[in-house]
Chains A and B, each alone.
Chain A
Amino acid sequence: DVVMTQSPLSLPVTLGQPASISCRSSQSLVHSDGNTYLDWFHQRPRQSPRRLIYMVSNRDSGVPDRFSGSGSGTDFTLTISRVEAEDVGIFYCMQTTHWPHNFGQGTKLEIK
């Protein structure tokens, strides 16, 4: 199975400052169809997760442009250009290239 490893697991950030989260996979996430199926989700406390980014770098509808995704192969990054209070919660990367589909351990973002 693919292992998804996120870092850091805890991310204290000052409001208005940038933040980035790394996600590394134990094998390439390039699918046989040529696409890379790596998504980023955000889960606020006591809420269901919400997808922010699909296929590495595509923002879902309604997602603020302060969120961006990048990377390739086995190494991916979620960047928040300016952290806002509503960003508190846990961020997960998820791969759907290989079965079983799975998530990273999660990165908990908190405001300093």
Chain B
Amino acid sequence: EVQLVESGGDLVQPGGSLRLSCAASGFSFIDSWMTWLRQAPGKGLEWVAHIKEDGTEKYYVDSVKGRFTISRDNAKNSLYLQMNSLRAEDTAVYYCAKIPRVSVPYWGQGTLVTVSS
């Protein structure tokens, strides 16, 4: 059974930092592009960052460039999102996902990040 389990969400003050983790199991993580997406309360979905199987290519949405860093540890089947200089508008549920163009996609249940003083 495929599982993606996010952790690390918390309440943090503006300007603060947080590191999200995603533990993957049940599929070949080392062969998978992985993605972080987010959904602000009551809002739509936003693709945040994307990382190639070997970590050599990374893509970010403009609103997080220079503040967020996506990374992975294939030996631990884990995906990470380091979030710095957090803003109120970063408040959202953050999802870890494998969304291939053709084969079956998988999403985690999400972890809530709240940026507030």
Contact = CB atoms under 8 A, between A and B. Distances in A.
A32 B62 CA distance: 23
Interface of A: 1, 35, 37, 41, 43, 48-51, 54-55, 58, 60-61, 90, 92, 94, 96, 99-106
A103 B46 contact: yes
B27 interface: no
Interface stretch (B74-82, B84-92, B105-113): B105-113
Contacts of B61: 100, 102
Given A48-B107, A106-B44, A54 B102 contact: yes
Given A37-B101, A92-B45, A100 B62 contact: yes
B113 to A, nearest CB: 16
29 contacts: A35-B101, A37-B101, A43-B45, A48-B95, A48-B107, A48-B108, A48-B110, A51-B99, A54-B101, A55-B101, A58-B102, A60-B105, A61-B104, A92-B44, A94-B45, A94-B47, A96-B99, A99-B50, A100-B59, A100-B60, A100-B62, A101-B50, A102-B61, A103-B44, A103-B45, A103-B46, A104-B44, A106-B44, A106-B45
A96 B62 CA distance: 16
B47 A100 contact: yes
B46 A102 contact: yes
A49 B47 contact: no
Interface string B29-64: 000000000000000111100100000000111100
A90 B44 CA distance: 9
A82 B111 CA distance: 34
B59 A60 contact: no
B110 A49 contact: no
Contact of A55 (B47, B95, B102): B102
B102 A103 contact: no
B45 A49 contact: yes
- Give the one of A35, A51, A55, A94 with max B CB within 10 A: A51
A103 B47 contact: yes
